[in-house]
Amino acid sequence: MVEEAKKILYSAVQPTNNLTIGNYVGAIRNFVALQNDYDCFFAIANMHAITVRQNPAELRQRTLSLLALYLACGINPEKCVIYVQSHVPAHAELCWTLNTFTYVGEMERMTQFKDKSARHADNINMGLMDYPVLMAADILLYQTDYVPVGLDQRQHVEIARDIAQRFNNVYSPTFKVPEAMFMKVGAKINDLLDPSKKMSKSSENVNGSVFLSDDKDTVIRKFKRAVTDSEACIRYDSENKRGVSNLLSVYSAFTGKSLEEAEREFAGKGYGDFKLAVGEAVAEKLAPIQKKQAELFADKEYLNAVLRSGAERAAKAANRTLAKVYKKIGFYQI
């Protein structure tokens, strides 16, 4: 019997700031869950990272730290291609080509560009605006079927689809048109102090974000302070009870229990007990990941070997697509 080829899955995380439980719940834990069923490419998006000024030593350190985190969370480098974006030149090359299929107006309208321009008004560089095109290049190079991401990336995956379709229409089918994949629970984890906005690595108030590097006491303290409401009832209602619903999502994601199970478990309990239980569930899950990440981080030789092999495998797949593109657009080949 001929085995059916697996569908291709692609995602990436930027090695910037401290990663939050939002990054874990919305993205990384899903990479682990999906790795057996798909051919996976997971990148460390350091080229996206420099659209906001980075300290070079920190960027280098965070790149390895993110790799150690991927591995500590359970992404298996034997099964998945794990690599650093800048190690595969095809990303920059395809990005340049796709720029000529992307309109300035549509980039100016992107929500994240508008947000980041407001936050970094002193450095609204071309890269910041071009960010979604580089992301489209990432995804399209690998003939990706699915892109597991958090909800904040929906618009970027949409534009990747538009660009792919535009190119395919001008020439002939060249790129697979990818689809975003969102998890039912946890596609948007919100800030603990302002549950109307997404939990972010770069939030002004660090108490609203739980970082993957936070120790147990810090995690519990942050959850204890989380904003809820005055109803004193633990039920999921993301419109009217944003704080409580956010905590239920976190609890569900970290324990593997459904939202309904979580609601039943806390029926009749007070918010104090509930917040403590959520904090404990998170801290309990993070501790072994942190320990493993620290061990792996110390083994630079192993990490470099993973990246070398990842870059080689990624480049092979990426160059195949890039060669097709160059041929179609009329770049002379020797």
Q: Which residues are catalytic?
A: 116, 198, 201
CB contact burial 57-72 (16+ within 10 A = b; e otherwise)? eeeeebbbbbbbbbbb
Closest among 182, 303, 246, 235 to 21, alpha carbons compared? 246
Count of CB atoms within 10 A of residue 77's CB?
A: 20
Among positions 181-200, residues that touch ligand TYM (CB under 6 A) are: 187-189, 198-199
Interacting span for ligand TYM (CB under 6 A) from 50-58, 142-150, 224-232, 295-303: 142-150
What's the rounded Cα separation, in Å, for the pair 117 and 137?
22
Interacting span for ligand TYM (CB under 6 A) from 72-80, 118-126, 143-151, 255-263: 143-151
| Interaction mask 255-284, ligand TYM, x per CB under 6 A | ------------------------------
Find out whether 314 and 81 touch, Cβ atoms under 8 Å. Answer: yes
Q: Binding residue for ligand TYM (CB under 6 A) from 8, 9, 17, 22? A: 22
Nearest distance in Å: CB 21, ligand TYM: 8
Q: Is 38 in the site for ligand TYM (CB under 6 A)?
A: no
Closest among 227, 229, 236, 243 to 263, alpha carbons compared? 236
| Cβ closest to ligand TYM, residue 58 vs residue 273 | 58
Q: Is 243 in the site for ligand TYM (CB under 6 A)?
A: no
Q: Is 14 in the site for ligand TYM (CB under 6 A)?
A: yes
Q: Is 12 in the site for ligand TYM (CB under 6 A)?
A: yes
Q: Is 321 in the site for ligand TYM (CB under 6 A)?
A: no
What's the rounded Cα separation, in Å, for the pair 213 and 55?
19
Q: Binding residue for ligand TYM (CB under 6 A) from 27, 72, 88, 311? A: 27
Q: Is 11 in the site for ligand TYM (CB under 6 A)?
A: yes
DSSP 26: I
* Angle, in degrees to the nearest 10, between helices 242-255 and 271-297: 50
| Cβ closest to ligand TYM, residue 198 vs residue 285 | 198
CA angle 201, 206, 212 (to 5 degrees): 55
Tokens representing 175 are: 């790129």
C-alpha to C-alpha distances, 16 to 65, 163, 315, nearest whole angstrom: 10, 27, 24
Find out whether 177 and 165 touch, Cβ atoms under 8 Å. Answer: yes
Interacting span for ligand TYM (CB under 6 A) from 132-140, 242-250, 284-292, 314-322: 132-140
Q: Binding residue for ligand TYM (CB under 6 A) from 39, 138, 214, 263? A: 138
Bridge partners of 10, per DSSP, are 41
| Cβ closest to ligand TYM, residue 17 vs residue 231 | 17
Count of CB atoms within 10 A of residue 310's CB?
A: 23
Residue number, nearest CB to ligand TYM: 26
Q: Is 69 in the site for ligand TYM (CB under 6 A)?
A: no
Q: Binding residue for ligand TYM (CB under 6 A) from 71, 129, 133, 135? A: 135
Nearest distance in Å: CB 14, ligand TYM: 4
Interacting span for ligand TYM (CB under 6 A) from 52-60, 135-143, 217-225, 243-251: 135-143
Nearest distance in Å: CB 121, ligand TYM: 20
Find out whether 87 and 311 touch, Cβ atoms under 8 Å. Answer: yes
Q: Cα-Cα-Cα-Cα dihedral of 219, 224, 230, 234, to 10°?
A: 60
Catalog residues that contact ligand TYM under the rule CB under 6 A.
Answer: 10-14, 22-23, 25-27, 45, 48, 135, 138-139, 147, 149-150, 152-153, 187-189, 198-199
